Amino acid sequence: MAVKHLAGERLVGTAAERAALSTVTAPAQTSWKVVARGRVTGGTSSNVDGVDTGTGNSSSNNNVITVNTLYSNPPDNIMFLMHFEKPDTNSRDLSLNLGKDTIEFDHVFQRKRNISNTSGWSSVEDTNRFTLANAHNELLEHSFNLGFISNIASQPKNITGFRGATANDGWANGLNSAEIGTAVMMGGSWKGGDGSGSQWTNKLNRLTFHRKQIGGSSHYYLGEDSEFVILGCDNNESDNETRGDTFWNLIGETELDSAGELTATFAAKRWLMFEIYGASDSSDSKGFIFNDTTSSQYGHRTLKGREGYSDGSYKRTGQACIYANGISNNTDNVWWNGYIDNASNGASKLICCELMVVDGSNTGSTEPNHTYTDGKWSNSAQVTSITATDHEGNKIDYKSGSWIRVWGSD
């Protein structure tokens, strides 16, 4: 076996050797921490304001708040995960509103711009809410939405992401490989940290996910088991240590010392985050599968670069994997970053992922390709392994140095 070196001629040991070292200690856990989370326990018409971080750890409007330090101690950076269950056929999109102490529904405090696979870039606009992935009755039964917010005092509250995947399968039909909804990426900015719309003085400390009719009297509630998780991270890492336990914990990792199959196996967790770097001897586009399953249970929609596509080649169902759709087959190097709504209720598993690839035969003069994909795995099981494949779900040898890492949390 060849000896590997780092800078300064330091030796690189194997994973087994590193684990056996008695002097190795875990680094301080100072990253994303839970600052608020809630869950709908009964979707009734009294739940008019959706799931709201509110002012404390109380329960109201069927929304059970189990953690909430966002209101009293807002972090510098916010990440949110939202699992949405739609309980009726009323055509109201899932939306997000922000605020300082109170939520403003009927005033213009935000600007946004988004791309989707059907409309490309939308116009820049003032809006009284951020609309997440479409939740109209013709599209879905549940959806997965996530985003990131810069929450620095005296600065604009810039927002990126709002990446949502939607699935059209009911509770009794978890294996349906039917339609998935529009792939959406959104960016925006909250204009008034103190509610005035003219300055950025305060940090936002309240978020609500809702289907409330803006400017009207009708309200549309969220379904049972709709759930949000709000994570926080301060720019001063020492401050993060006081916020509680780390949310994303490494649960599976594989790095290849020689060419071979690239798989990470792990215990089931409610939420998953993964990264894959793969360099293979094949020039085929790359993909990935869950739990060693390739039986036409995958579907996805893809955005390529900054453009939206409605062409059928960018919308696939009944596939053998989630793959690098829209990217040239001459793809040697690939990097994925993604998140999985890994619910245990039997519904499809929803995936939001970004992909960067480089033409390995001409890396110095070829612009990297970038795609964003919303996907689904129509299987009732939770994801417990991820395998990098080719674009048809076939296992292939990835080169030495390729790796996959998976983080998870309940």
Continuous H helices in 171-288: 237-240
Which helix (H) or strand (E) segment is 157 a member of?
strand 157-167
The per-residue pLDDT for 140 is: 56
Per-residue pLDDT tens over the stretch 135-187: 554 445 678 888 888 888 877 788 877 666 766 654 333 333 345 555 555 66
Per-residue pLDDT tens over the stretch 51-88: 778 776 555 656 677 788 888 889 999 999 988 877 77
Cβ 55 vs Cβ 93: under 8 Å? no
Categorize the per-residue pLDDT at 1 as very low, low, confident or very high, splitting at 50, 70 and 90: very low
Per-residue pLDDT at 283 exceeds 80:
no
Cβ 298 vs Cβ 322: under 8 Å? yes
The most confident of the ranges 101-110, 130-139, 255-264, 305-314 is 255-264
Instruction: Give the pair of three-digit tokens for residue 355.
Output: 């992909």
Can you tell me the mean pLDDT for 35-56? 73
Q: What is the pTM of this model?
A: 0.84
What is the identity of the amino acid at 69?
A: T
Per-residue pLDDT tens over the stretch 365-379: 566 677 778 888 888
Three-state SS string over 292-360 comes to CCCCCCEEEEEEECCECCCCHHHEEEEECCEECCCCCCCCCEEEEEEEEECCCCCCCEEEEEEEEEECC
